[in-house]
Structure formats: structure tokens, C-alpha cells
């Protein structure tokens, strides 16, 4: 059970400080929240963790492993998965194929065996298909398995992206505004799924705009504004923090 | 001897530059590699040839060649690139569409010319040589340099001193932002493609005159060299295209003169390969070109 | 007409299909490489020189052509991993030009512009059929494996691939190696089939032909190149005007495909069919729900 820790992380683009001096910890088995108004730097934090962007200062650790210099695919191989704020599915591929891609780093047959089509490779492919179908079943998406992902409704696409991230067997899962554009019923449904995933020992970081949703799910919440952490604590503590209220309602 | 080679190289290079200017203009503004640029060049030469054959004066034939090149290039824009524009990533699609356009135009030209090499009638351009300080220069070469210089000056004036040019540069900076500022992209596309084609058309006439040979595939070697020129100069950079064009002309003339046949091309294209790896933004390219070329 | 009349056409189709797969595999992995003519030239000269100059037997010569192509593919994949998009296309185009101009220059070895002639014809239709069958099997296995899935994700969205742990450098290198090996293999076979090899065979015309097969057929499916190549090889045989205006038709096909069916015939129809299925399922769903609502309280 490894937790993800950011230690005094900063990122600047040119002269603009997008994230400054942010420290936070995402612990396994629970959902940690990261909230903040638009443009606070939430997605930048996700990009820094996943190695899409390089940090200017600070350190990122997963357990004892240093992720500070790692690139995106290394970070992924170490067990960090994410979803994207603007859904990124392979639109023309089927839903099943989209989920299958999530298994990439669990494939064990060697390249050579795959290329010449050894029976072991076929067996693995078949078992992955079964696992993908089981995941789709679990999230009530079985009947869409053969659909091209791009043809699904917005909510369903979000769900497929979630399933793909879960398929990758993450130790840390970063959810970038997963319920944006959903109604309360759909959001609540997805919330139960997050809780399930967290219970299985995954460290979840929920990046959200919607404070109500975060309060319902998270035990610990960080608040980001203009690239800085302005508060942290339980949802109750954070909601009564004057700085947070000012950031959300605007200083008067 | 070496001075003579240098002079010849610079003159060849000025035509390379003229050809590459239009190519780099379209890439710089719209991020489109127009592989049909060679056939636009060829169509300019064809237009001038038929104009001269019908008794029109050469200067008029040149103007006609520019018009023809401009129109052909704009038609390519309409037929090959515009339908793709609503899609996001069109780099590769545009490349393929322009290969298609290139095939169609050059096969039309092949039909018109019956696969034969066309030659301007004798006396279209007076054959006259001058010797200055031991270096021989022909009247045609002088005209080539003057024409290229005038067109380059015109292009720079247009891009940097007129409101049209500012629109073009706005689009090349950021198409969406330019649209928000009320710049109509279609007007800009018309301008860049027309200018690009007109420059190529004139280059076609100049090359047709200097070798007195016009052929439906004449654009191919120039297109391949244009890659070297625009990458060396920095994709999208006007200054870069001129300097790199001249440089390539000199390198080519010297390598052809002093090295065995075949090696010249190998050197030039190795140069292209190496620049792409070492400095993809070229001599004058911006940092933006470098990030577009490199994987982060 | 008898089979014999169509045999040269079949052979031409089989050779072209090999080159088509060489081009397809890089495009499938999202690499804008157009280096297939370079690989074909390397393999072609390799087997031509070995067989004609040194009297080497066919099988090792062709295998060496395959290895040389694969190694060349691997070597250029290293620097090309640093480039993106059209810059990869330009770099591979430069590579093709370098190989072709070296073929002109290295006259003692390659015969320069005149090339090498009187190469013994050691390859016949049955050999080609056998090799192509193996290649198709290989491509099928590849497309069903994790490698195929990794290629697909890199083509459609590199960033998603990276965040799922797909190593771009590794899979692009693999695509280049396979492309190079296939290009070298069929280049080698071609030399031992057509008697002659010269630098001009690997110019722009070769490049556009190979690209057309894939644009027409599709970059993903195994069937795509077969359909694309078959159509392009058969078209000139169907009618005289098509043969006379072959270049024009080819250009028109390229433009029309990229505008109207950018995924090619096979892949495009597959996607369209799946979308139709999806719409049908959705409609049934809606009707069921409506019926439920009417019947309900």
C-alpha cells in the first residue's frame, strides 16, 4: 500500500507561476479531494504527477520511488492512472477495445511470443477479453461493448474512461472532474463506484469543481487557488475557512 | 573558376529561394505541406510557354505564368485542403490530398505536352553574355536575379507593411484568435495560396528559360530541394528561405563541380536529415517550430 | 482467358501487397514514415548483388534482405523518435533520397543509373504466394495481439497511450523494424523476380503507389491493404481509359478518399457499420423505455 506525496511542487510556464509550493498526500483506501475555482491549477497538478509536464521545483514520490524525473509511460507503469477532464477515448474503436487498452501494462507475454502468435499469447488475449467483459458488466455497460466509443452519450463516455483507468490496475487513480456535466443521479452512481474502488486499496485523488460532490465522498480535502494551497482538512473544516469562502465567492 | 561557380550557385539558389518562398509561406501560415507545389511551378512554365508560342511578349507571358500559378494553387486549396479543414489534425490528410492533386495536375500536363519536352522558340530571350572581372554572366542570369529581388521585396512589403499581410501573419500566429478579431480565414487562405502559387509560377518560367526545357515532371527535383531549403531556413521563415535557398544553390553547384555525380544529392539530403535531428527549427525558425517538430 | 494471362498481374499484386503492409504497419502505429521505398531499395540491391555478382542462393539472399531492412528500420527509429508529425515524413523522405542517390553514386556496387540487369529469376508465383500467406498470417496475429492494441492507441491518441504505460519509443521502434523487414523482404523478392533493378524504381511513383494502397484500403485492418492493392492493380486492366489516365485516376482516388472516407474502404465501412449498429441499439432502447413508461403507472 503506497501513498502518493507531492513535496513543495512548483511549476512555471515562462514567467507565469501556475503551481507554487504545493504539498499534498494521497493515501490508499480513501478518496482525497482537490478542489478550487476554475484556473486554480488543478489539471496542471494532475499533469505534473503523471509526467505529462515536468515540474520546475519540488519532488513527487510514490512510496519510496521518486517520480520527479519520470516520463508519462514510466509513471503509468508504476501504477498511476488518470482520467481526462475533456474525455479522451479512442472514438472509433469499440468500447471493449477501449477497455482492453487499459490492460496494457499487465500483459505478460513477451513481444516475440505475441508477434509469432504463440498459444500463450492467444490465451492471454482471451482472458483479457473476459476480464474486460466482466468490468463492463460490473458497470452496467455490457450492451455497449461493440459500440464505437464516440457514439455513446457523454455520461457513458465518462464511464468508459473510468473503466479503462480501473482496468489498468492502478495503485493511484487521479480523476480529473469526473462528474462534470452529469446530473446528480448519475454523479451519485459514479460516486458509489469511486468508494468501491477506494475500498479495494487504491489511492484516489478526486479533482473537482463541484464542492457538494467532494464533501460527500472525501475524508480529506485540499483547496487550491491561483496555484497555491489555501486550506486543507476535513470537508467541514475547509468549508468554514474564510480564505476558501473568499476564493469561491470572490473577495469583497 | 571558383568565383564563377559561386556566382552560378547564387543564381540557381535565388530560384530555389523563389520556389521555396511560397512553400514556406503556406506551411508557416496554415501548417500545410503542399506537395503539389512542384506541379504549380510546372503549370507556370507551361502557361508562359503557350503564351510565347501564341506570339505574346515574354514579360506578358511571365505575368500570365504568375496568374496561372496563383490560380492553380488556389484551386488546390479549394479542392484538396478546404474540405479537410473542419477536422482537427489535418497534417497527414493534407499531405496525402496534395500528393493526389500533384498526380492529377502533372498527368494533365503530360497529356497536354504528349510526354514531350517543350522548348521556347529560338530567340525568345536574347543570348548575351557579359564578362565582369573575369566572371561570365548572361543577360538571363541578370534578369533572374532582378526578378527574384523584386518579388522578394514585394512579398516583404506585402507581409509587413499592408493590412492584408498583417491578417496573414495574425492567422499564422493563431487561427482561432484571428477569427475572433474578425479576420476571415477564407480571405487569408486565398491570399497565401495565390501568392504562393504566383511565386512558384514565376520560378517555373525562370527555370524553363534557363534550361530551355519544360516538362511535366520538372517540379519534382525542385520540390525535393524545397524541403532542404525550408528546413534549413526554418519552416515558415521568409528570411530563412532566402538565405537557405542561396546557400543550397552554392553547395549544390560546388558539389556538382568538384565531386563525382550522385554524391551531391546524397550530401544535400543527408544535410536535410541531420538538420531535422539536430536543429529542427533551422537557421531562422522560431522556438515554436522547434516544439512542433520535437516530441517533448 | 486462361490463368497464365493473369499470372504477371497476380505476381505484381503479391509484390505490391508486401510493400503495402510495410507502409501500413508504421501508419497503424501513428508514425508518419514514408520510408518503405528506402527499405525496398536496400533489400532489392542486397539480394540483386548477392545473387547476380556472387552467385548466392536465393533463400539466404532474401533473408539477408529482410534482416538489412529490419536493421535499417531499427536504426532510423532511434533518431526519428525525437521528431513529430510531418517532420517525420520529411526526414523519411530525405532517407529515401539518400538511399536512391547512393544507388546512383556507388556505381561499382550498384551499377549506377543503369542498375543491375540479368538477375537470375529465382522467384515464381508459388514462392510469392507462400511468402504473402505467411505475412498475412503474421499481420493477423499482430492485429489481435497487445502489440496491435498498443499501435492503435498510439495512432489515435499518443497521450492516452503514454498515461496507460505504452512506451512510444519502444512501439514506434517495433513498427519501424517490422516495416523495414517487410520492405527489405519484398524488395529482395522483387529483384529476383523482375530480372533487373535500377534506382528509378524507388522514386516518387513507388512512394505514391504504396501510399495509395493504404489510403484506399485502410490503415488498421489486415484486409485493408489487400483490397487497396487489388483495386489499384486491377483498375488499369478494367478499361482502357482507366489505364491511359492511370496517374490522374490515382490522384483523384487519393483526394476523394482522404476527404470522404479518411479511414479507407475497409476500416471506414467497419466504423460506419458499427455506428449503425449503435444507433439501432439506442433506438430499440428508447422504444423499450417508452413502452415501459406507457405501461407503467
**Domain annotation for chain A: domains and CATH numbers:** 4-79+170-249 (3.40.50.300), 90-156 (no CATH)
Per cent of chain A over pLDDT 70 is: 98
Residue B88 confidence class, pLDDT cut points 50, 70, 90: low
| Model confidence pLDDT, tens digit, residues C55-73 | 999 999 999 999 999 999 9
What is each CA distance from B122 to A129, B53, B119, B227, in whole angstroms? 75, 11, 9, 34
State the pLDDT at residue B290: 66
Give the three-class secondary structure for B270: helix
Residue A252 confidence class, pLDDT cut points 50, 70, 90: very low
Mutation choice for C interface testing from A114, A119, A127 by most C CBs within 10 A: A114
| Model confidence pLDDT, tens digit, residues C146-162 | 899 999 999 998 889 98
Place of cell 509561406: B25
What is each CA distance from C118 to C45, C49, C51, C60, C115, in whole angstroms? 13, 11, 10, 19, 10
- Tell me if C274 and A91 make a contact (CB, 8 A cut-off): no
More confident residue, B90 or A233: A233
Close Cβ partners of B37 (under 8 Å, ≥ 6 residues apart) = B19, B22, B23, B26, B73, B98, B196, B200, B219, B223, B226
CATH architecture assignment, domain B2-293:
Orthogonal Bundle (1.10)
Per cent of chain C over pLDDT 70 is: 97
Considering only CB atoms, which chain C residues are within 8 Å of A152? 278
Considering only CB atoms, which chain B residues are within 8 Å of C32? 91-92, 95
The predicted model scores a pTM of: 0.91
Considering only CB atoms, which chain A residues are within 8 Å of C281? 143-144, 147
Looking at CA atoms only, how far is residue C209 from chain B in angstroms?
11
Close Cβ partners of B31 (under 8 Å, ≥ 6 residues apart) = B91, B292
What is each CA distance from B28 to A97, B102, B130, B193, in whole angstroms? 38, 20, 39, 12
For residue B68, is pLDDT > 80?
Answer: yes
**Average per-residue pLDDT for chain C:** 91
8 Å CB contact between B118 and B126: no
Give the three-class secondary structure for C80: helix
Looking at CA atoms only, how far is residue B162 from chain C in angstroms?
31
Place of cell 530541394: B225
Run of H or E residues at A231? strand A228-233
State the pLDDT at residue B288: 65
State the pLDDT at residue B91: 82
More confident residue, A163 or A2: A163
What is each CA distance from B85 to A106, B141, C178, in whole angstroms? 39, 41, 33
| Cα separation, B187 vs B257, whole angstroms | 46
- Tell me if B99 and C112 make a contact (CB, 8 A cut-off): no
Longest dimension (CA), chain A: 69
| Cα separation, C102 vs B130, whole angstroms | 38
Per cent of chain A over pLDDT 90 is: 29
Give the three-class secondary structure for A137: helix
| Cα separation, C53 vs C61, whole angstroms | 12
Residue A249 confidence class, pLDDT cut points 50, 70, 90: low
Chain-centroid distance, C-alpha A106: 18
For residue A250, is pLDDT > 70?
Answer: no
Alpha helix locations (H) across chain A? 42-49, 72-77, 95-102, 111-116, 119-138, 154-167, 184-199, 211-217, 235-239, 242-249
Among C residues 206-245, those touching chain A with beta carbons less than 8 Å apart: none
For residue B89, is pLDDT > 80?
Answer: no
Nearest alpha carbon to residue B43 among B196, B151, B226:
B196
**Mean pLDDT score, B186-208:** 93
Chain-centroid distance, C-alpha B180: 31
Alpha helix locations (H) across chain C? 3-28, 36-54, 58-80, 85-105, 107-110, 125-144, 146-156, 158-163, 168-194, 204-217, 223-238, 240-244, 246-260, 265-295
State the pLDDT at residue B24: 92
8 Å CB contact between B212 and B226: no
Residue B272 confidence class, pLDDT cut points 50, 70, 90: very high
Considering only CB atoms, which chain A residues are within 8 Å of C269? none
State the pLDDT at residue C297: 46
Run of H or E residues at A7? strand A4-13
Integer-rounded Cα Rg, in Å, for chain B is: 19
State the pLDDT at residue C136: 97
Close Cβ partners of A103 (under 8 Å, ≥ 6 residues apart) = A128, A131, A132, A167, A168, A169, C146
| Model confidence pLDDT, tens digit, residues A187-241 | 888 888 889 889 989 999 999 877 888 888 898 999 988 888 888 988 888 888 8
**Which cell goes with C34?**
514514408
All domains of chain C in start order, with CATH = 3-295 (1.10.3470)
For residue B287, is pLDDT > 70?
Answer: no
The interface predicted TM-score of the complex, written ipTM, equals 0.89
Size of interface B-C (CB pairs under 8 A): 132
CA atoms within 13 A on the CB side of C100: 23
8 Å CB contact between C65 and C47: yes
Residue C293 confidence class, pLDDT cut points 50, 70, 90: low
- Tell me if C149 and A151 make a contact (CB, 8 A cut-off): no
B56 burial type by CB count under 10 A (0-12 exposed, 13-18 middle, 19+ buried): middle
State the pLDDT at residue C294: 65
**Which cell goes with B36?**
503539389
Query: In this structure, are strands B129-132 and B135-138 parallel, antiparallel, or unpaired?
Result: antiparallel
8 Å CB contact between B225 and B33: no
Among B residues 132-191, those touching chain C with beta carbons less than 8 Å apart: none
For residue C296, is pLDDT > 60?
Answer: no
| Model confidence pLDDT, tens digit, residues B217-241 | 999 999 999 999 999 998 888 899 9
Amino acid at each position: 500500500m503506497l501513498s502518493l506525496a507531492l513535496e513543495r511542487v512548483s511549476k512555471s510556464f515562462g514567467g507565469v507561476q501556475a503551481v507554487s509550493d504545493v504539498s499534498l498526500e494521497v493515501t490508499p483506501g480513501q478518496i482525497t479531494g482537490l478542489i478550487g475555482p476554475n484556473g486554480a491549477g488543478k489539471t496542471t497538478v494532475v499533469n505534473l504527477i503523471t509526467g505529462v509536464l515536468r515540474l520546475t521545483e519540488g519532488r513527487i514520490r510514490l512510496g519510496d520511488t521518486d517520480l520527479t524525473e519520470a516520463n508519462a509511460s514510466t509513471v503509468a507503469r508504476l501504477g498511476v492512472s488518470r482520467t481526462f477532464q475533456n474525455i479522451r477515448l479512442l472514438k472509433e474503436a469499440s468500447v471493449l477495445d477501449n477497455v482492453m487498452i487499459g490492460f496494457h501494462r499487465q500483459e505478460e507475454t513477451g513481444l516475440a511470443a505475441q508477434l509469432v502468435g504463440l498459444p500463450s499469447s492467444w490465451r492471454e488475449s482471451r482472458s483479457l477479453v473476459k476480464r474486460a467483459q466482466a468490468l463492463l458488466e460490473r458497470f452496467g455497460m455490457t450492451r455497449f461493448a461493440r459500440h464505437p466509443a464516440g457514439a455513446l452519450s457523454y455520461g457513458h463516455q465518462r464511464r468508459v474512461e473510468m473503466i479503462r483507468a480501473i482496468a489498468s490496475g492502478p495503485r493511484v487513480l487521479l480523476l480529473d472532474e469526473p462528474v462534470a456535466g452529469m446530473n446528480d443521479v448519475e454523479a451519485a452512481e459514479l460516486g458509489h463506484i469511486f468508494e468501491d474502488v477506494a475500498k479495494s486499496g487504491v489511492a484516489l485523488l478526486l479533482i473537482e469543481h463541484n464542492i457538494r460532490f467532494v464533501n460527500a465522498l472525501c475524508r480529506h480535502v485540499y483547496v487550491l487557488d491561483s496555484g497555491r494551497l489555501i486550506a486543507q482538512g476535513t470537508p467541514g473544516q475547509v468549508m468554514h475557512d474564510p480564505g476558501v469562502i473568499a476564493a469561491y465567492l470572490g473577495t469583497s | 573558376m571558383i568565383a564563377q561557380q559561386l556566382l552560378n550557385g547564387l543564381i540557381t539558389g535565388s530560384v530555389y529561394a523563389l520556389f521555396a518562398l511560397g512553400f514556406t509561406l503556406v506551411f508557416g501560415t496554415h501548417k500545410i505541406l503542399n506537395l503539389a507545389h512542384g506541379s504549380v511551378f510546372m503549370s507556370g512554365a507551361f502557361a508562359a510557354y503557350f503564351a510565347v508560342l501564341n506570339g505574346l511578349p515574354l514579360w506578358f507571358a511571365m505575368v500570365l505564368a504568375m496568374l496561372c500559378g496563383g490560380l492553380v494553387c488556389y484551386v488546390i486549396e479549394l479542392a484538396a485542403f478546404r474540405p479537410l479543414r473542419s477536422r482537427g489534425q489535418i497534417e497527414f490528410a493534407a499531405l496525402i490530398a496534395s500528393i493526389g492533386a500533384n498526380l492529377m495536375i502533372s498527368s494533365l500536363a503530360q497529356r497536354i505536352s504528349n510526354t514531350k519536352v517543350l522548348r521556347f522558340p529560338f530567340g525568345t530571350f536574347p543570348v548575351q553574355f557579359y564578362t565582369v572581372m573575369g566572371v561570365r554572366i548572361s543577360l538571363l542570369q541578370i534578369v533572374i536575379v532582378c526578378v527574384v529581388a523584386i518579388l522578394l521585396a514585394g512579398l516583404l512589403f506585402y507581409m509587413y507593411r499592408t493590412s492584408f499581410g498583417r491578417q496573414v501573419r495574425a492567422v499564422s500566429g493563431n487561427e482561432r484568435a484571428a477569427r475572433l478579431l474578425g479576420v476571415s480565414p477564407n480571405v487569408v487562405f486565398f491570399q497565401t495560396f495565390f501568392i504562393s502559387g504566383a511565386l512558384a509560377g514565376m520560378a517555373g518560367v525562370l527555370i524553363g528559360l534557363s534550361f530551355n526545357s519544360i516538362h511535366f515532371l520538372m517540379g519534382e527535383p525542385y520540390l525535393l530541394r524545397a524541403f532542404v531549403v525550408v528546413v534549413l531556413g526554418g519552416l515558415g521563415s521568409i528570411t530563412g528561405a532566402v538565405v537557405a535557398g542561396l546557400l543550397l544553390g552554392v553547395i549544390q553547384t560546388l558539389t556538382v563541380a568538384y565531386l563525382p555525380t550522385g554524391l551531391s544529392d546524397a550530401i544535400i539530403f543527408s544535410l536535410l536529415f541531420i538538420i531535422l535531428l539536430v536543429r529542427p527549427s533551422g537557421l531562422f525558425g522560431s522556438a515554436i517550430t522547434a516544439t512542433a517538430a520535437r516530441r517533448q | 482467358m486462361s490463368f497464365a494471362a493473369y499470372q504477371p498481374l497476380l505476381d505484381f499484386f503479391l509484390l505490391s501487397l508486401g510493400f503495402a503492409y510495410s507502409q501500413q504497419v508504421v501508419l497503424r502505429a501513428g508514425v508518419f514514415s514514408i520510408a518503405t521505398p528506402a527499405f525496398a531499395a536496400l533489400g532489392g540491391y542486397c539480394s540483386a548483388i548477392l545473387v547476380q555478382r556472387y552467385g548466392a542462393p536465393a533463400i539466404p539472399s532474401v533473408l539477408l534482405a529482410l534482416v538489412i531492412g529490419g536493421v535499417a528500420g531499427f536504426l532510423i527509429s532511434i533518431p526519428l523518435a525525437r521528431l513529430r508529425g510531418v517532420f517525420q515524413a520529411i526526414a523519411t523522405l530525405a532517407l529515401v533520397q539518400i538511399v536512391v542517390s547512393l544507388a546512383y553514386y556507388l556505381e561499382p556496387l550498384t551499377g549506377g543509373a543503369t542498375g543491375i540487369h540479368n538477375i537470375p529469376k529465382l522467384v515464381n508465383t508459388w514462392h510469392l504466394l507462400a511468402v504473402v500467406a505467411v505475412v498475412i498470417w503474421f499481420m493477423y496475429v499482430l492485429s489481435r495481439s497487445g502489440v496491435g492494441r498498443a499501435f492503435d492507441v498510439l495512432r489515435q491518441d499518443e497521450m492516452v497511450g503514454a498515461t496507460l504505460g505504452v512506451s512510444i519509443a519502444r512501439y514506434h521502434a517495433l513498427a519501424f523494424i517490422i516495416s523495414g523487414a517487410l520492405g527489405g523482404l519484398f524488395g529482395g523478392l522483387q529483384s529476383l523476380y523482375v530480372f533487373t533493378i535500377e534506382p528509378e524504381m524507388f522514386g516518387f511513383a513507388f512512394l505514391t503507389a504504396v501510399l495509395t494502397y493504404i489510403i484506399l484500403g485502410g490503415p488498421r485492418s489486415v484486409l485493408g491493404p489487400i483490397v487497396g492493392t487489388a483495386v489499384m492493380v486491377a483498375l488499369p486492366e478494367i478499361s482502357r481509359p482507366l489505364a491511359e489516365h492511370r496517374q490522374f485516376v490515382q490522384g483523384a482516388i487519393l483526394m476523394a478518399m482522404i476527404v470522404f472516407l479518411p479511414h479507407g474502404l475497409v476500416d471506414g465501412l467497419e466504423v460506419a457499420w458499427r455506428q449503425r449498429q449503435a444507433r439501432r441499439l439506442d433506438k430499440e432502447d428508447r422504444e423499450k423505455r417508452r413502452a415501459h413508461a406507457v405501461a407503467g403507472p
